[in-house]
Amino acid sequence: MHNVSIKTRIGISSIPQGLPFLAALTNASSALKVSKESLQNEIVWFEKEIGDKLFQSKKIITSFPKALSNEEILVLYQPKYDLISNTIIGAEALSRWQSDTLLMPQEYISHLESEGLIHNLDLFVLERICIDIKSWEQKGIPTVPVSFNISEMDLYYDYFESDIIKILKKHNVNPNFIEIEIPETHDPKIQTRKKTFIKTVTDFGIKIALDNFGTNTTSLSTLSAYPFTTLKITNEDVNNLLTKKKTNKIFTKALLAITKELNIQVIAQGIESKEHLDKIKTLGCKFGQGFYLNEPLYKIEFENLLATRKTI
Ligand code: C2E
Ligand code: MG
Protein backbone atom coordinates (compact mmCIF):
# COMPACT_ATOMS: atom_id res chain seq x y z
CA MET A 1 0.00 0.00 0.00
CA HIS A 2 1.31 3.45 -0.84
CA ASN A 3 0.05 6.80 0.33
CA VAL A 4 -0.32 9.17 -2.55
CA SER A 5 -0.68 12.86 -1.87
CA ILE A 6 -2.13 15.00 -4.60
CA LYS A 7 -1.84 18.76 -4.86
CA THR A 8 -3.87 20.98 -7.11
CA ARG A 9 -2.26 23.86 -8.97
CA ILE A 10 -4.11 26.37 -11.11
CA GLY A 11 -2.93 29.00 -13.55
CA ILE A 12 -5.47 31.56 -14.74
CA SER A 13 -5.45 34.17 -17.47
CA SER A 14 -8.13 36.65 -18.38
CA ILE A 15 -9.01 36.96 -22.08
CA PRO A 16 -9.06 40.68 -22.77
CA GLN A 17 -10.75 41.73 -25.97
CA GLY A 18 -8.46 41.29 -28.95
CA LEU A 19 -6.21 38.67 -27.32
CA PRO A 20 -6.28 35.45 -29.35
CA PHE A 21 -7.57 32.49 -27.36
CA LEU A 22 -4.31 30.54 -27.86
CA ALA A 23 -2.29 33.44 -26.41
CA ALA A 24 -4.53 33.48 -23.34
CA LEU A 25 -4.02 29.73 -23.00
CA THR A 26 -0.22 30.21 -23.15
CA ASN A 27 -0.52 32.88 -20.44
CA ALA A 28 -2.53 30.50 -18.25
CA SER A 29 0.15 27.81 -18.77
CA SER A 30 2.82 30.31 -17.74
CA ALA A 31 0.86 31.13 -14.58
CA LEU A 32 0.47 27.38 -13.93
CA LYS A 33 4.24 26.91 -14.24
CA VAL A 34 4.77 29.64 -11.62
CA SER A 35 2.23 28.06 -9.27
CA LYS A 36 4.01 24.68 -9.60
CA GLU A 37 7.32 26.27 -8.63
CA SER A 38 5.83 28.13 -5.69
CA LEU A 39 5.40 26.62 -2.25
CA GLN A 40 2.54 28.88 -1.20
CA ASN A 41 0.63 30.02 -4.28
CA GLU A 42 -1.57 27.22 -5.50
CA ILE A 43 -3.60 29.55 -7.69
CA VAL A 44 -1.72 32.08 -9.79
CA TRP A 45 -3.19 34.75 -12.06
CA PHE A 46 -1.14 35.65 -15.12
CA GLU A 47 0.57 39.06 -14.90
CA LYS A 48 2.93 40.85 -17.24
CA GLU A 49 5.94 40.17 -14.96
CA ILE A 50 5.31 36.42 -15.27
CA GLY A 51 5.39 36.73 -19.06
CA ASP A 52 8.59 38.82 -18.95
CA LYS A 53 10.32 36.38 -16.60
CA LEU A 54 9.42 33.39 -18.73
CA PHE A 55 10.52 35.20 -21.86
CA GLN A 56 13.91 35.90 -20.21
CA SER A 57 14.14 32.29 -19.05
CA LYS A 58 13.42 30.99 -22.58
CA LYS A 59 16.00 33.38 -24.01
CA ILE A 60 18.65 32.13 -21.58
CA ILE A 61 17.85 28.48 -22.22
CA THR A 62 17.78 28.72 -26.02
CA SER A 63 20.98 30.76 -26.26
CA PHE A 64 22.95 28.72 -23.71
CA PRO A 65 24.32 25.99 -26.08
CA LYS A 66 25.64 28.69 -28.44
CA ALA A 67 27.11 30.59 -25.48
CA LEU A 68 29.12 27.50 -24.53
CA SER A 69 30.48 26.91 -28.01
CA ASN A 70 31.15 30.63 -28.66
CA GLU A 71 33.17 30.99 -25.46
CA GLU A 72 30.69 33.50 -24.08
CA ILE A 73 30.98 31.80 -20.70
CA LEU A 74 33.95 33.24 -18.83
CA VAL A 75 35.63 31.87 -15.76
CA LEU A 76 36.91 34.37 -13.22
CA TYR A 77 39.12 33.51 -10.26
CA GLN A 78 38.70 34.95 -6.79
CA PRO A 79 41.85 34.36 -4.71
CA LYS A 80 41.64 32.77 -1.27
CA TYR A 81 44.21 33.93 1.24
CA ASP A 82 46.05 32.61 4.24
CA LEU A 83 45.29 35.60 6.44
CA ILE A 84 48.28 35.03 8.70
CA SER A 85 51.04 34.75 6.11
CA ASN A 86 49.19 36.93 3.56
CA THR A 87 49.70 34.41 0.78
CA ILE A 88 47.34 33.04 -1.85
CA ILE A 89 46.34 29.49 -1.00
CA GLY A 90 43.80 28.90 -3.75
CA ALA A 91 41.04 30.42 -5.83
CA GLU A 92 37.32 30.03 -6.43
CA ALA A 93 36.21 29.86 -10.06
CA LEU A 94 33.08 31.92 -10.71
CA SER A 95 31.32 32.01 -14.05
CA ARG A 96 30.08 35.03 -15.99
CA TRP A 97 28.14 35.14 -19.24
CA GLN A 98 29.39 37.76 -21.67
CA SER A 99 26.64 38.31 -24.24
CA ASP A 100 25.44 41.79 -25.22
CA THR A 101 25.90 42.62 -21.57
CA LEU A 102 27.77 40.84 -18.81
CA LEU A 103 25.38 38.50 -17.04
CA MET A 104 25.99 37.56 -13.41
CA PRO A 105 25.33 34.00 -12.15
CA GLN A 106 22.04 34.93 -10.46
CA GLU A 107 20.70 35.95 -13.89
CA TYR A 108 21.19 32.54 -15.52
CA ILE A 109 21.90 29.79 -12.97
CA SER A 110 18.34 29.27 -11.72
CA HIS A 111 17.05 29.02 -15.33
CA LEU A 112 19.70 26.45 -16.21
CA GLU A 113 18.88 24.55 -13.03
CA SER A 114 15.17 24.40 -13.71
CA GLU A 115 15.81 23.11 -17.25
CA GLY A 116 18.30 20.46 -16.08
CA LEU A 117 21.14 22.14 -18.01
CA ILE A 118 23.31 23.29 -15.11
CA HIS A 119 25.72 20.32 -15.30
CA ASN A 120 26.75 21.51 -18.77
CA LEU A 121 27.82 24.84 -17.28
CA ASP A 122 29.63 23.31 -14.32
CA LEU A 123 31.50 20.78 -16.46
CA PHE A 124 32.43 23.59 -18.86
CA VAL A 125 33.82 25.62 -15.94
CA LEU A 126 35.82 22.61 -14.73
CA GLU A 127 37.27 22.06 -18.19
CA ARG A 128 38.25 25.72 -18.42
CA ILE A 129 39.98 25.48 -15.01
CA CYS A 130 41.92 22.39 -16.15
CA ILE A 131 43.04 24.18 -19.33
CA ASP A 132 44.13 27.22 -17.31
CA ILE A 133 46.00 25.17 -14.69
CA LYS A 134 47.87 23.36 -17.46
CA SER A 135 48.75 26.63 -19.18
CA TRP A 136 50.11 28.04 -15.88
CA GLU A 137 52.17 24.91 -15.38
CA GLN A 138 53.56 25.20 -18.90
CA LYS A 139 54.49 28.84 -18.31
CA GLY A 140 56.24 27.84 -15.08
CA ILE A 141 53.78 29.77 -12.92
CA PRO A 142 53.38 28.03 -9.55
CA THR A 143 49.70 27.22 -9.43
CA VAL A 144 47.26 26.84 -6.54
CA PRO A 145 44.21 24.60 -5.98
CA VAL A 146 41.07 25.91 -7.66
CA SER A 147 37.51 25.25 -6.52
CA PHE A 148 34.35 25.35 -8.60
CA ASN A 149 30.70 25.56 -7.57
CA ILE A 150 28.12 22.93 -8.23
CA SER A 151 24.34 23.03 -7.79
CA GLU A 152 22.08 20.56 -6.05
CA MET A 153 20.53 19.94 -9.49
CA ASP A 154 23.85 18.57 -10.81
CA LEU A 155 23.30 15.51 -8.64
CA TYR A 156 20.27 14.56 -10.73
CA TYR A 157 22.64 14.02 -13.66
CA ASP A 158 23.82 10.40 -13.28
CA TYR A 159 27.13 10.80 -15.10
CA PHE A 160 28.24 13.92 -13.24
CA GLU A 161 31.10 12.35 -11.28
CA SER A 162 32.31 10.20 -14.16
CA ASP A 163 32.34 13.26 -16.45
CA ILE A 164 34.31 15.21 -13.83
CA ILE A 165 36.91 12.44 -13.60
CA LYS A 166 37.05 12.14 -17.42
CA ILE A 167 37.82 15.87 -17.73
CA LEU A 168 40.65 15.69 -15.18
CA LYS A 169 42.13 12.64 -16.91
CA LYS A 170 41.79 14.23 -20.35
CA HIS A 171 43.83 17.26 -19.24
CA ASN A 172 46.10 15.27 -16.95
CA VAL A 173 45.36 17.52 -13.99
CA ASN A 174 46.32 16.43 -10.49
CA PRO A 175 43.00 15.95 -8.60
CA ASN A 176 44.57 17.55 -5.51
CA PHE A 177 44.39 20.83 -7.38
CA ILE A 178 40.62 20.66 -7.73
CA GLU A 179 38.03 21.29 -5.03
CA ILE A 180 34.26 21.09 -5.44
CA GLU A 181 32.13 23.61 -3.54
CA ILE A 182 28.97 21.73 -2.79
CA PRO A 183 25.89 23.59 -1.55
CA GLU A 184 23.69 22.51 1.31
CA THR A 185 21.11 20.21 -0.25
CA HIS A 186 17.41 20.26 0.57
CA ASP A 187 15.86 17.32 -1.20
CA PRO A 188 15.92 14.28 1.15
CA LYS A 189 15.70 12.02 -1.92
CA ILE A 190 19.10 13.25 -3.08
CA GLN A 191 21.02 12.35 0.11
CA THR A 192 22.06 8.83 -1.01
CA ARG A 193 23.05 10.17 -4.40
CA LYS A 194 25.08 12.90 -2.70
CA LYS A 195 26.94 10.31 -0.62
CA THR A 196 27.90 8.26 -3.71
CA PHE A 197 28.93 11.39 -5.56
CA ILE A 198 31.16 12.59 -2.72
CA LYS A 199 32.67 9.14 -2.22
CA THR A 200 33.54 8.72 -5.90
CA VAL A 201 35.17 12.12 -6.31
CA THR A 202 37.04 12.05 -2.99
CA ASP A 203 38.33 8.51 -3.71
CA PHE A 204 39.72 9.97 -6.92
CA GLY A 205 41.53 12.67 -4.90
CA ILE A 206 39.29 15.69 -5.40
CA LYS A 207 38.58 17.77 -2.29
CA ILE A 208 35.11 18.78 -1.15
CA ALA A 209 34.09 22.08 0.44
CA LEU A 210 30.73 22.77 2.04
CA ASP A 211 29.66 26.12 0.62
CA ASN A 212 27.78 28.84 2.48
CA PHE A 213 27.53 26.84 5.67
CA GLY A 214 24.63 27.84 7.88
CA THR A 215 22.49 29.58 5.28
CA ASN A 216 19.88 26.88 5.31
CA THR A 217 19.26 23.93 7.53
CA THR A 218 22.64 22.24 7.88
CA SER A 219 23.21 20.77 11.29
CA LEU A 220 26.63 20.36 12.83
CA SER A 221 26.34 16.59 12.30
CA THR A 222 26.65 17.22 8.53
CA LEU A 223 30.28 18.07 9.19
CA SER A 224 31.13 14.55 10.23
CA ALA A 225 28.74 12.85 7.78
CA TYR A 226 30.84 13.74 4.72
CA PRO A 227 34.61 13.99 4.22
CA PHE A 228 34.67 17.78 3.80
CA THR A 229 38.11 19.34 3.77
CA THR A 230 36.79 22.90 3.79
CA LEU A 231 33.88 24.80 5.23
CA LYS A 232 32.96 28.17 3.77
CA ILE A 233 31.15 30.55 6.05
CA THR A 234 28.94 33.14 4.43
CA ASN A 235 29.05 36.88 3.90
CA GLU A 236 26.21 37.20 6.40
CA ASP A 237 28.21 35.40 9.08
CA VAL A 238 31.12 37.74 8.49
CA ASN A 239 28.76 40.73 8.68
CA ASN A 240 27.11 39.39 11.83
CA LEU A 241 30.47 39.40 13.55
CA LEU A 242 30.54 43.16 13.22
CA THR A 243 27.34 43.51 15.18
CA LYS A 244 27.59 43.75 18.92
CA LYS A 245 25.67 40.50 19.35
CA LYS A 246 27.78 38.31 21.61
CA THR A 247 26.21 35.03 20.46
CA ASN A 248 27.57 35.47 16.91
CA LYS A 249 31.12 35.52 18.21
CA ILE A 250 30.49 32.60 20.55
CA PHE A 251 29.02 30.58 17.70
CA THR A 252 31.89 31.34 15.31
CA LYS A 253 34.50 30.54 17.96
CA ALA A 254 32.79 27.22 18.76
CA LEU A 255 32.55 26.37 15.08
CA LEU A 256 36.25 27.08 14.61
CA ALA A 257 37.07 24.83 17.58
CA ILE A 258 34.92 21.96 16.22
CA THR A 259 36.32 22.22 12.70
CA LYS A 260 39.87 22.30 14.07
CA GLU A 261 39.24 18.98 15.83
CA LEU A 262 37.72 17.55 12.65
CA ASN A 263 40.67 18.83 10.61
CA ILE A 264 38.39 20.96 8.41
CA GLN A 265 39.71 24.23 7.02
CA VAL A 266 37.36 27.21 7.49
CA ILE A 267 37.30 29.99 4.91
CA ALA A 268 35.49 33.23 5.71
CA GLN A 269 33.85 34.65 2.59
CA GLY A 270 32.79 38.20 1.95
CA ILE A 271 35.61 40.06 3.70
CA GLU A 272 34.78 43.56 2.53
CA SER A 273 36.81 45.79 4.85
CA LYS A 274 39.80 45.96 7.17
CA GLU A 275 37.33 45.80 10.03
CA HIS A 276 35.96 42.48 8.73
CA LEU A 277 39.47 41.14 8.26
CA ASP A 278 40.62 42.10 11.76
CA LYS A 279 37.50 40.61 13.40
CA ILE A 280 37.89 37.36 11.51
CA LYS A 281 41.56 37.09 12.43
CA THR A 282 40.91 37.86 16.11
CA LEU A 283 38.43 34.99 16.23
CA GLY A 284 41.12 32.66 14.94
CA CYS A 285 39.89 32.13 11.38
CA LYS A 286 43.00 31.70 9.27
CA PHE A 287 41.65 31.76 5.74
CA GLY A 288 39.47 34.18 3.81
CA GLN A 289 38.32 35.69 0.55
CA GLY A 290 36.42 38.83 -0.27
CA PHE A 291 36.35 42.12 -2.15
CA TYR A 292 38.76 43.72 0.36
CA LEU A 293 41.41 41.15 -0.56
CA ASN A 294 40.55 40.71 -4.26
CA GLU A 295 37.44 40.81 -6.40
CA PRO A 296 36.93 37.89 -8.80
CA LEU A 297 39.69 38.38 -11.40
CA TYR A 298 39.84 37.71 -15.12
CA LYS A 299 42.17 34.84 -16.02
CA ILE A 300 45.00 37.12 -17.13
CA GLU A 301 44.79 39.24 -13.96
CA PHE A 302 44.83 36.15 -11.76
CA GLU A 303 47.71 34.72 -13.76
CA ASN A 304 49.72 37.92 -13.19
CA LEU A 305 48.92 37.78 -9.50
CA LEU A 306 50.09 34.16 -9.32
CA ALA A 307 53.24 34.95 -11.25
CA THR A 308 54.21 37.83 -8.98
CA ARG A 309 52.62 36.31 -5.85
CA LYS A 310 51.80 39.67 -4.36
CA THR A 311 50.82 39.59 -0.72
CA ILE A 312 47.91 41.62 0.61
P1 C2E B 1 29.26 31.61 -3.85
O2 C2E B 1 29.74 30.26 -4.22
O3 C2E B 1 28.91 31.86 -2.45
O4 C2E B 1 30.39 32.62 -4.37
C5 C2E B 1 30.74 33.79 -3.71
C6 C2E B 1 29.98 34.97 -4.25
O7 C2E B 1 30.25 36.09 -3.42
C8 C2E B 1 30.42 35.38 -5.63
O9 C2E B 1 29.28 35.96 -6.27
C10 C2E B 1 31.44 36.45 -5.36
O11 C2E B 1 31.64 37.36 -6.43
C12 C2E B 1 30.80 37.14 -4.18
N13 C2E B 1 31.76 37.83 -3.32
C14 C2E B 1 33.08 37.66 -3.23
N15 C2E B 1 33.62 38.49 -2.30
C16 C2E B 1 32.60 39.21 -1.79
C17 C2E B 1 32.49 40.25 -0.81
O18 C2E B 1 33.46 40.68 -0.19
N19 C2E B 1 31.24 40.73 -0.55
C20 C2E B 1 30.13 40.28 -1.20
N21 C2E B 1 28.97 40.82 -0.89
N22 C2E B 1 30.19 39.30 -2.13
C23 C2E B 1 31.40 38.78 -2.43
P24 C2E B 1 28.91 35.62 -7.78
O25 C2E B 1 30.13 35.46 -8.63
O26 C2E B 1 27.87 36.59 -8.21
O27 C2E B 1 28.26 34.20 -7.64
C28 C2E B 1 27.07 34.02 -6.93
C29 C2E B 1 26.80 32.56 -6.70
O30 C2E B 1 26.52 31.90 -7.92
C31 C2E B 1 28.01 31.83 -6.13
O32 C2E B 1 27.98 32.01 -4.73
C33 C2E B 1 27.78 30.42 -6.57
O34 C2E B 1 26.97 29.72 -5.66
C35 C2E B 1 27.01 30.60 -7.84
N36 C2E B 1 27.89 30.35 -9.00
C37 C2E B 1 28.79 31.18 -9.59
N38 C2E B 1 29.36 30.59 -10.65
C39 C2E B 1 28.79 29.35 -10.74
C40 C2E B 1 28.94 28.25 -11.65
O41 C2E B 1 29.72 28.27 -12.61
N42 C2E B 1 28.15 27.15 -11.41
C43 C2E B 1 27.28 27.07 -10.36
N44 C2E B 1 26.57 25.95 -10.20
N45 C2E B 1 27.12 28.08 -9.49
C46 C2E B 1 27.87 29.20 -9.69
MG1 MG C 1 31.22 29.06 -3.69
Q: What is the pLDDT of residues 77-109, one digit of tens each?
A: 999 999 999 999 999 999 999 998 999 999 999
Cα 94 to averaged position of ligand 1 atoms, centre (Å): 6
Q: Candidates 72, 269, 297: which one to mutate for ligand 1, based on the most atoms within 8 Å of Cβ?
A: 269
Which residue has the CA at smallest separation from atom 20 of ligand 1? 270
Residue 21 has pLDDT above 80, yes or no: yes
Which residue's C-alpha comes closest to atom 7 of ligand 1?
Answer: 270
Is 146's pLDDT higher than 90? yes
- Residues 188-200 have pLDDT tens digits of 788 889 999 999 9
Q: What does the pLDDT read at residue 220?
A: 75
Per-residue pLDDT reduced to its tens digit, 22-51 = 999 999 999 999 998 887 889 999 999 999
> Whole-angstrom Cα distance, residue 191 to residue 156?
11
How far apart are alpha carbons 122 and 128 in whole angstroms? 10
The pTM (predicted TM-score) of the whole model is 0.90
d(CA 275, CA 244): 13
Count other Cβ atoms within 10 Å, centred on residue 102. 10
Bridge pairing between strands 73-82 and 102-103: unpaired
- The pLDDT assigned to 37 comes to 81
Task: Note the pLDDT of residue 216.
Answer: 60
Which candidate, 250, 192, 281, 263, places its Cα nearest to that of 223? 263
